[in-house]
């Protein structure tokens, strides 16, 4: 099931812009204090570093990702999720706009 709407949240109006605009996201906070971000990655191959564990949920488009220590690119499409450990790196390869929700663990 694709998440199409998040109700009852507070949204940061200032965007976080990474990689010269190839990744743009907005932070959201739920009433219970849970934080997530929603954003889009434009076509590119990028390397991200995580602090806390993350779950990347694809809401539109698709990507391929490769976790640190692996050599295999895995596809993730709309309605799919993948997990990234905390204090780790992952690469993401996007050929069409990839819309996501990042769930922080």
CATH topology of domain 31-104: Jelly Rolls (2.60.120)
In tens digits, what is the pLDDT along the chain, a chain of 105 residues? 899 999 999 999 999 999 999 999 999 999 999 999 999 999 999 999 999 999 999 999 999 999 999 999 999 999 999 999 999 999 999 999 999 999 997
Q: Are 59 and 88 in contact (CB under 8 A)?
A: no
Q: Are 65 and 74 in contact (CB under 8 A)?
A: yes
The whole-model pTM stands at 0.94
Q: Give pLDDT, residue 85.
A: 95
Question: Any idea how long the chain is?
Answer: 105
Q: Give pLDDT, residue 67.
A: 97
Residue 21's alpha-carbon distances to 12, 48, 51, 104, in angstroms, are 17, 14, 21, 22
Q: Give pLDDT, residue 105.
A: 75
In the block, residue with structure tokens 């009433």: 31
Q: Give pLDDT, residue 1.
A: 83
């Amino acid at each position: 099931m694709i998440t199409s709407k998040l109700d009852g949240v507070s949204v940061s109006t200032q965007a976080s812009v990474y990689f010269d605009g190839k990744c743009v996201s907005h932070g959201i906070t739920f009433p219970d204090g849970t934080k997530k971000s929603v954003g889009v990655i434009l076509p590119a191959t990028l390397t991200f570093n995580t602090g806390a564990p993350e779950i990347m949920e694809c809401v539109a488009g698709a990507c391929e990702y490769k976790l640190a220590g692996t050599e295999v690119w895995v596809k993730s499409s709309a309605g799919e999720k993948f997990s990234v450990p905390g204090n780790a790196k992952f690469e993401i390869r996007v050929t069409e706009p990839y819309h996501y929700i990042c769930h922080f663990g």
